[in-house]
Amino acid sequence: MGETDADRVVELQAQVDQLKEAVTSHAVVDQAIGMMVALGRVPPDLGWQVLKEVSQHTNIKLRNVAELILIWGRRGDIPDDVRAELEDALDRYGPTQVPGTTA
Report the interhelical angle of 5-40 vs 44-58 (nearest 10°). Answer: 110
Q: Count of CB atoms within 10 A of residue 91's CB?
A: 12
Domain spans of the chain? 13-93
Give the model's pLDDT for residue 98. 45
Share of the chain residues as helix, strand and coil, in percent rounded to the nearest 5: 75, 0, 25
Contact predicate 91/48, CB 8 Å: no
- Max CA separation in the chain (angstroms): 65
Give the model's pLDDT for residue 57. 95
pLDDT tops 60 at residue 1:
no
pTM above 0.85, yes or no: no
In tens, the pLDDT along 45-100 reads: 999 999 999 999 999 999 999 999 999 988 888 999 999 999 999 998 877 544 45
Measured distance between the N- and C-terminal CA atoms of the chain, rounded to whole angstroms: 62
DSSP letters spanning 49-76 = HHHHHHHHHHT--HHHHHHHHHHHHHHS
